[in-house]
Protein backbone atom coordinates (compact mmCIF):
# COMPACT_ATOMS: atom_id res chain seq x y z
CA UNK A 1 0.00 0.00 0.00
CA UNK A 2 1.30 3.46 -0.87
CA UNK A 3 2.00 5.78 2.04
CA UNK A 4 -0.48 8.62 2.34
CA UNK A 5 1.06 11.79 0.96
CA UNK A 6 1.66 14.54 3.47
CA UNK A 7 0.32 17.73 1.82
CA UNK A 8 2.92 19.79 3.68
CA UNK A 9 5.82 18.15 1.87
CA UNK A 10 6.99 17.99 -1.73
CA UNK A 11 8.14 14.80 -3.45
CA UNK A 12 11.61 15.29 -1.96
CA UNK A 13 10.21 15.40 1.58
CA UNK A 14 10.88 19.13 1.91
CA UNK A 15 8.49 21.47 3.73
CA UNK A 16 6.44 23.60 1.32
CA UNK A 17 3.46 24.42 3.59
CA UNK A 18 3.09 24.35 7.38
CA UNK A 19 -0.40 23.09 8.16
CA UNK A 20 0.10 20.97 11.29
CA UNK A 21 2.79 19.50 13.51
CA UNK A 22 1.07 16.15 12.94
CA UNK A 23 2.93 14.08 10.37
CA UNK A 24 6.20 16.00 10.63
CA UNK A 25 9.20 13.84 11.48
CA UNK A 26 11.50 14.42 14.43
CA UNK A 27 14.22 15.47 11.97
CA UNK A 28 11.91 18.04 10.34
CA UNK A 29 10.81 19.49 13.70
CA UNK A 30 14.42 19.66 14.85
CA UNK A 31 15.44 21.35 11.58
CA UNK A 32 12.83 24.08 12.16
CA UNK A 33 13.97 24.58 15.77
CA UNK A 34 17.64 24.67 14.75
CA UNK A 35 16.87 27.22 12.04
CA UNK A 36 14.93 29.34 14.54
CA UNK A 37 17.96 29.34 16.84
CA UNK A 38 19.94 31.11 14.10
CA UNK A 39 17.32 33.88 13.98
CA UNK A 40 17.03 34.58 17.72
CA UNK A 41 20.04 36.87 17.63
CA UNK A 42 18.59 39.02 14.81
CA UNK A 43 16.36 40.87 17.28
CA UNK A 44 19.43 41.93 19.24
CA UNK A 45 21.11 43.58 16.25
CA UNK A 46 21.03 47.28 15.53
CA UNK A 47 19.64 46.46 12.07
CA UNK A 48 17.06 43.75 12.67
CA UNK A 49 16.86 42.44 9.10
CA UNK A 50 18.19 39.65 6.92
CA UNK A 51 17.57 39.53 3.14
CA UNK A 52 16.22 35.97 2.82
CA UNK A 53 12.73 36.97 1.60
CA UNK A 54 13.65 40.16 -0.25
CA UNK A 55 11.29 40.56 -3.20
CA UNK A 56 8.74 38.08 -1.75
CA UNK A 57 5.19 39.06 -0.80
CA UNK A 58 3.60 37.74 2.41
CA UNK A 59 -0.18 38.13 2.80
CA UNK A 60 -1.63 37.81 6.32
CA UNK A 61 -5.24 36.59 6.16
CA UNK A 62 -6.68 36.62 9.66
CA UNK A 63 -10.36 35.69 9.66
CA UNK A 64 -10.29 35.56 13.49
CA UNK A 65 -9.02 38.11 15.99
CA UNK A 66 -5.37 37.89 16.93
CA UNK A 67 -2.74 40.11 18.52
CA UNK A 68 0.38 38.07 19.29
CA UNK A 69 0.26 35.70 16.32
CA UNK A 70 -0.54 38.32 13.69
CA UNK A 71 1.97 40.82 15.07
CA UNK A 72 4.79 38.28 15.35
CA UNK A 73 4.14 37.09 11.79
CA UNK A 74 4.27 40.74 10.65
CA UNK A 75 7.55 41.28 12.47
CA UNK A 76 9.02 37.97 11.29
CA UNK A 77 8.24 38.65 7.62
CA UNK A 78 9.54 42.21 7.86
CA UNK A 79 12.80 41.03 9.45
CA UNK A 80 13.20 38.62 6.53
CA UNK A 81 12.88 41.69 4.23
CA UNK A 82 9.57 40.54 2.68
CA UNK A 83 6.81 42.88 1.55
CA UNK A 84 3.99 42.32 4.06
CA UNK A 85 0.28 42.89 3.44
CA UNK A 86 -2.34 42.34 6.13
CA UNK A 87 -5.87 42.02 4.78
CA UNK A 88 -8.57 43.92 6.66
CA UNK A 89 -11.14 41.11 6.68
CA UNK A 90 -13.97 43.32 7.97
CA UNK A 91 -13.61 45.50 4.88
CA UNK A 92 -12.59 42.81 2.40
CA UNK A 93 -14.64 41.16 -0.33
CA UNK A 94 -14.90 38.10 1.92
CA UNK A 95 -17.19 40.13 4.17
CA UNK A 96 -19.34 40.75 1.10
CA UNK A 97 -19.74 37.05 0.40
CA UNK A 98 -16.69 36.22 -1.71
CA UNK A 99 -15.46 32.66 -1.13
CA UNK A 100 -12.13 31.99 0.56
CA UNK A 101 -10.74 30.37 -2.60
CA UNK A 102 -11.80 33.32 -4.77
CA UNK A 103 -10.22 35.77 -2.32
CA UNK A 104 -6.95 33.85 -2.40
CA UNK A 105 -7.08 33.49 -6.20
CA UNK A 106 -7.36 37.27 -6.54
CA UNK A 107 -4.53 37.88 -4.09
CA UNK A 108 -2.42 35.28 -5.91
CA UNK A 109 -2.90 37.35 -9.06
CA UNK A 110 -1.16 40.15 -7.14
CA UNK A 111 1.99 37.98 -6.99
CA UNK A 112 1.62 36.55 -3.49
CA UNK A 113 4.31 34.12 -2.37
CA UNK A 114 3.18 33.17 1.14
CA UNK A 115 -0.27 33.16 2.72
CA UNK A 116 -0.46 33.17 6.52
CA UNK A 117 -4.00 32.06 7.34
CA UNK A 118 -6.06 32.03 10.52
CA UNK A 119 -9.60 30.76 10.11
CA UNK A 120 -12.46 29.62 12.34
CA UNK A 121 -13.08 26.55 10.17
CA UNK A 122 -10.86 23.54 10.74
CA UNK A 123 -9.14 22.54 7.51
CA UNK A 124 -9.31 25.93 5.77
CA UNK A 125 -5.50 26.16 5.31
CA UNK A 126 -5.48 22.61 3.87
CA UNK A 127 -8.08 23.68 1.31
CA UNK A 128 -5.97 26.64 0.28
CA UNK A 129 -2.81 24.54 0.04
CA UNK A 130 -4.58 22.29 -2.48
CA UNK A 131 -5.49 25.20 -4.76
CA UNK A 132 -2.52 27.59 -4.73
CA UNK A 133 0.12 27.64 -7.47
CA UNK A 134 3.22 25.44 -6.98
CA UNK A 135 5.40 28.42 -5.98
CA UNK A 136 2.91 29.69 -3.33
CA UNK A 137 3.13 28.55 0.28
CA UNK A 138 0.47 28.36 3.01
CA UNK A 139 1.19 28.67 6.72
CA UNK A 140 -1.54 27.79 9.18
CA UNK A 141 -1.83 30.45 11.91
CA UNK A 142 -4.68 28.55 13.60
CA UNK A 143 -7.69 26.75 12.15
CA UNK A 144 -10.78 26.10 14.27
CA UNK A 145 -10.06 23.57 17.00
CA UNK A 146 -7.66 21.68 14.77
CA UNK A 147 -4.11 23.04 14.82
CA UNK A 148 -1.83 25.99 15.56
CA UNK A 149 1.53 24.65 14.37
CA UNK A 150 3.71 27.74 14.77
CA UNK A 151 2.51 28.10 18.39
CA UNK A 152 3.31 24.44 18.91
CA UNK A 153 6.76 24.96 17.42
CA UNK A 154 7.53 28.03 19.53
CA UNK A 155 6.42 26.05 22.57
CA UNK A 156 8.87 23.31 21.57
CA UNK A 157 11.61 25.90 21.08
CA UNK A 158 10.92 27.35 24.54
CA UNK A 159 11.00 23.93 26.19
CA UNK A 160 14.24 22.98 24.43
CA UNK A 161 15.81 26.33 25.33
CA UNK A 162 15.21 25.85 29.05
CA UNK A 163 15.35 22.04 29.34
CA UNK A 164 17.89 21.29 26.55
CA UNK A 165 16.47 17.84 25.73
CA UNK A 166 12.99 16.32 25.47
CA UNK A 167 13.88 12.82 26.61
CA UNK A 168 12.89 12.29 30.23
CA UNK A 169 10.58 15.32 30.34
CA UNK A 170 7.12 15.22 31.90
CA UNK A 171 4.91 17.88 30.30
CA UNK A 172 1.45 18.78 31.62
CA UNK A 173 -1.07 20.64 29.43
CA UNK A 174 -3.77 22.08 31.70
CA UNK A 175 -7.20 23.59 31.06
CA UNK A 176 -9.58 23.80 28.13
CA UNK A 177 -8.03 21.04 26.03
CA UNK A 178 -11.34 20.36 24.25
CA UNK A 179 -11.29 23.67 22.36
CA UNK A 180 -7.51 24.12 22.13
CA UNK A 181 -5.76 23.85 18.76
CA UNK A 182 -2.53 24.66 20.61
CA UNK A 183 -2.90 21.56 22.79
CA UNK A 184 -3.19 19.30 19.75
CA UNK A 185 -0.17 20.86 18.06
CA UNK A 186 1.85 20.57 21.27
CA UNK A 187 0.85 16.92 21.79
CA UNK A 188 1.88 15.87 18.27
CA UNK A 189 5.21 17.70 18.55
CA UNK A 190 6.02 16.51 22.08
CA UNK A 191 5.34 12.84 21.34
CA UNK A 192 7.37 13.03 18.10
CA UNK A 193 10.29 14.75 19.84
CA UNK A 194 10.41 12.04 22.49
CA UNK A 195 8.98 13.56 25.69
CA UNK A 196 8.80 10.88 28.38
CA UNK A 197 5.19 11.64 29.34
CA UNK A 198 2.59 14.10 28.12
CA UNK A 199 -0.39 14.70 30.41
CA UNK A 200 -3.60 16.51 29.61
CA UNK A 201 -5.29 17.92 32.68
CA UNK A 202 -8.75 19.36 33.23
CA UNK A 203 -12.39 18.67 34.10
CA UNK A 204 -14.09 15.87 32.19
CA UNK A 205 -16.20 18.39 30.27
CA UNK A 206 -13.07 20.07 28.86
CA UNK A 207 -10.82 17.08 28.19
CA UNK A 208 -11.88 14.89 25.23
CA UNK A 209 -12.15 11.20 25.98
CA UNK A 210 -10.35 10.17 22.78
CA UNK A 211 -6.91 11.59 23.58
CA UNK A 212 -5.31 8.43 25.00
CA UNK A 213 -4.55 7.04 21.50
CA UNK A 214 -2.44 10.17 20.92
CA UNK A 215 -0.02 8.87 23.55
CA UNK A 216 -1.07 11.10 26.46
CA UNK A 217 -2.11 10.47 30.03
CA UNK A 218 -5.47 12.01 30.95
CA UNK A 219 -5.76 13.52 34.46
CA UNK A 220 -8.83 15.07 36.06
CA UNK A 221 -7.19 16.65 39.12
CA UNK A 222 -4.52 19.33 39.03
CA UNK A 223 -2.34 17.67 41.66
CA UNK A 224 -2.17 14.40 39.71
CA UNK A 225 -1.65 16.27 36.47
CA UNK A 226 1.30 18.47 37.44
CA UNK A 227 2.94 16.33 40.14
CA UNK A 228 6.69 16.19 39.40
CA UNK A 229 6.17 17.82 35.99
CA UNK A 230 9.08 19.55 34.28
CA UNK A 231 6.86 21.78 32.14
CA UNK A 232 3.36 23.12 32.85
CA UNK A 233 1.49 24.61 29.88
CA UNK A 234 -1.64 26.48 30.93
CA UNK A 235 -4.49 27.04 28.47
CA UNK A 236 -7.14 29.72 28.63
CA UNK A 237 -10.86 29.00 28.85
CA UNK A 238 -12.14 29.58 25.33
CA UNK A 239 -15.63 30.77 26.22
CA UNK A 240 -16.21 31.97 22.65
CA UNK A 241 -16.01 28.35 21.43
CA UNK A 242 -18.13 26.79 24.15
CA UNK A 243 -21.72 25.77 23.46
CA UNK A 244 -23.76 24.98 26.53
CA UNK A 245 -22.71 25.05 30.17
CA UNK A 246 -19.43 23.12 30.25
CA UNK A 247 -18.41 24.79 33.53
CA UNK A 248 -20.38 26.07 36.53
CA UNK A 249 -18.28 29.27 36.51
CA UNK A 250 -14.77 30.53 35.82
CA UNK A 251 -14.32 31.04 39.57
CA UNK A 252 -15.10 27.40 40.23
CA UNK A 253 -12.66 26.38 37.50
CA UNK A 254 -9.93 28.42 39.21
CA UNK A 255 -10.68 26.79 42.55
CA UNK A 256 -10.03 23.35 41.05
CA UNK A 257 -7.59 23.92 38.19
CA UNK A 258 -6.17 27.44 38.53
CA UNK A 259 -2.39 27.47 38.89
CA UNK A 260 -1.25 29.25 42.04
CA UNK A 261 2.20 29.49 43.61
CA UNK A 262 1.18 26.94 46.23
CA UNK A 263 -0.07 24.44 43.65
CA UNK A 264 2.98 24.94 41.47
CA UNK A 265 4.98 23.31 44.27
CA UNK A 266 3.44 19.99 43.16
CA UNK A 267 5.61 20.26 40.04
CA UNK A 268 9.39 19.96 40.09
CA UNK A 269 11.22 22.89 41.75
CA UNK A 270 12.76 23.89 38.40
CA UNK A 271 9.56 23.45 36.38
CA UNK A 272 8.79 26.14 33.83
CA UNK A 273 5.32 27.61 33.32
CA UNK A 274 4.07 28.43 29.83
CA UNK A 275 0.91 29.94 28.33
CA UNK A 276 0.05 30.60 24.67
CA UNK A 277 -1.97 33.70 25.53
CA UNK A 278 -4.08 35.65 25.87
CA UNK A 279 -3.89 35.17 29.63
CA UNK A 280 -6.94 35.31 31.88
CA UNK A 281 -5.37 36.19 35.22
CA UNK A 282 -7.30 34.72 38.11
CA UNK A 283 -9.14 32.26 35.87
CA UNK A 284 -6.59 29.68 34.73
CA UNK A 285 -3.48 31.17 36.34
CA UNK A 286 -2.69 33.46 39.25
CA UNK A 287 -0.83 36.74 38.64
CA UNK A 288 1.94 35.69 41.05
CA UNK A 289 2.70 32.73 38.77
CA UNK A 290 2.46 34.78 35.55
CA UNK A 291 4.99 37.27 36.90
CA UNK A 292 7.00 34.74 38.90
CA UNK A 293 10.49 33.33 38.43
CA UNK A 294 9.29 30.09 36.84
CA UNK A 295 7.20 31.83 34.17
CA UNK A 296 8.64 31.85 30.63
CA UNK A 297 5.52 33.33 29.04
CA UNK A 298 7.17 36.49 27.69
CA UNK A 299 10.21 34.62 26.28
CA UNK A 300 7.68 32.44 24.41
CA UNK A 301 6.53 35.53 22.52
CA UNK A 302 10.10 36.54 21.69
CA UNK A 303 10.98 33.04 20.49
CA UNK A 304 7.80 33.07 18.39
CA UNK A 305 9.29 35.68 16.06
CA UNK A 306 12.37 33.54 15.40
CA UNK A 307 10.28 30.39 14.90
CA UNK A 308 8.01 32.12 12.38
CA UNK A 309 11.05 33.51 10.59
CA UNK A 310 12.39 29.96 10.40
CA UNK A 311 9.15 28.52 9.00
CA UNK A 312 8.79 31.21 6.33
CA UNK A 313 12.42 30.98 5.24
CA UNK A 314 12.25 27.18 5.00
CA UNK A 315 9.02 26.91 2.99
CA UNK A 316 10.02 29.78 0.70
CA UNK A 317 13.21 27.94 -0.18
CA UNK A 318 11.37 24.87 -1.50
CA UNK A 319 9.24 24.31 -4.59
CA UNK A 320 6.31 21.95 -4.95
More confident of the two residues 231 and 88:
231
Q: Does 26-148+302-316 match 149-296 in CATH topology?
A: yes
Are the beta carbons of 99 and 93 closer than 8 angstroms?
A: no
Q: Can you give the length of the chain in residues?
A: 320
What would the DSSP string read from start to end of 182-234? HHHHHHHHHHHHT-SEEEEES-GGGS-TT-GGGT-EEESSHHHHHTT-SEEEE
- Residue 181 counted as an annotated binding residue: yes
pLDDT tens track for 219-255:
999 999 999 999 999 998 875 444 445 555 778 889 9
241 is in an annotated binding site: no
Domain residue ranges in the chain: 26-148+302-316, 149-296
Report how far residue 104's alpha carbon sits from residue 91's, in angstroms, rounded to the nearest whole number: 15
Asked whether residue 277 is marked as a ligand-binding residue, the answer is: yes
Quote the pLDDT of residue 242: 41
State the chain's mean pLDDT as an integer.
90
For residues 49 and 170, is the Cβ–Cβ distance under 8 A?
no
Q: How confident is the model at residue 167 (pLDDT cuts 50, 70, 90)?
A: very high
Give the residue, 122 or 100, on which the prediction is more confident. 122
199 is in an annotated binding site: no
pLDDT-derived band at 303 (thresholds 50, 70, 90) equals: very high
What is the fold, at CATH topology level, of the domain defined by 149-296?
Answer: Rossmann fold (3.40.50)
**Residue 100: per-residue pLDDT:** 83
**Residue 17 annotated as part of some ligand binding site:** no
Q: Return the CATH number of 26-148+302-316, one of 1.10.287.180, 3.40.50.1370, 3.40.50.1820, 3.40.50.10070.
A: 3.40.50.1370
41 is in an annotated binding site: no
Read off the pLDDT band of 90 (50, 70, 90): low
118 is known to lie in a ligand binding site: yes
In the chain, the percentage of residues whose pLDDT exceeds 70 is: 92
User: Is 236 marked as binding a ligand?
Assistant: yes
Amino acid sequence: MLARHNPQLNKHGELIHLLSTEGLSRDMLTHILDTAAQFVGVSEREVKKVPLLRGKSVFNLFFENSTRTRTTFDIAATRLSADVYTLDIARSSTAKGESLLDTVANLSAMAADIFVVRHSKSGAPYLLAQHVAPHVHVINAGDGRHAHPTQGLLDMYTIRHYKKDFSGLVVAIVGDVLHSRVARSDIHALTTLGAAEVRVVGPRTLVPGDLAPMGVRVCHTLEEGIKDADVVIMLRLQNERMSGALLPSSQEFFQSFGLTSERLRWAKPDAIVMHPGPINRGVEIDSQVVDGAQSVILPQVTFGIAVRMAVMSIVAGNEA
